[in-house]
Amino acid sequence: MADTEQGIDFTIMYSTHRAFQRDLRRLAAAVQAGKAGSPRVLAGWENFSHQLHNHHSVEDTDLWPKVEAKIQGRPADQRLMEAMEAEHADLGPRIDAVDAALRSGADDLATRVQDLHELVDHHFTHEENSALPLIQDVLTPAEWKKFGLANAKNLGIKGVAVYIPWVVDGVSPGDKRDFLAAFPPPVKVANTLLWERAYNKKGLWKA
């Protein structure tokens, strides 16, 4: 999963993307089962929305500007950055549409969820296939690490205590091991002893 050829490991990014896609599959299943309005499904959706907002807001403030500073005079790469920002902007109205439909029980909820899922899949594929190789080309491992620290700072310790177990919710043992290996050892200990237990008690998405 990780891309370490030039020193930058994208394991956390890939794992986070898979967590978003997993949650959208869970939401679609809840809609199909007629349980989208249950409290734990709504709590799962609220966590999804919070995590996605944080993920993209930190990219917009602490990642893309660093990349843009390195690609002056590279029109194709500049257009790619513009596309990343535009895709982020497109997601806002789709999330709002799903949220409104969830709260009101709108008949077209399934269509809105599918629309959001398709856009999320397109964006992640575009980012992984085009933006991450560009990041690998122009940023140093130290600069990538600073982005990770900015993400953690934006979440805060309480947010990190939810983010970590959220990402590994339902993943294979191997993927969980790879994800946690990208963090300092105390994070794995805290997740095992405290964070996962607290997260699991919430029963997100369990209608």
Tens-digit pLDDT profile for residues 146-200 = 999 999 999 999 999 999 999 999 999 999 999 999 999 999 999 999 999 999 9
Model confidence band, residue 6 (pLDDT cutoffs 50, 70, 90): low
Domain ranges of the chain: 11-202
Pick the CATH number of 11-202 from 1.10.860, 1.10.760, 2.60.120, 1.20.120: 1.20.120
pLDDT confidence tier of residue 7, bands split at 50, 70 and 90:
confident
Q: Long-range contacts for 83-89 (Cβ within 8 Å, ≥24 apart)?
A: 83/126, 84/59, 84/126, 84/127, 84/131, 85/60, 87/119, 87/122, 87/123, 87/126, 88/56, 88/59, 88/60, 88/123
Average pLDDT of the segment spanning 16-34: 97
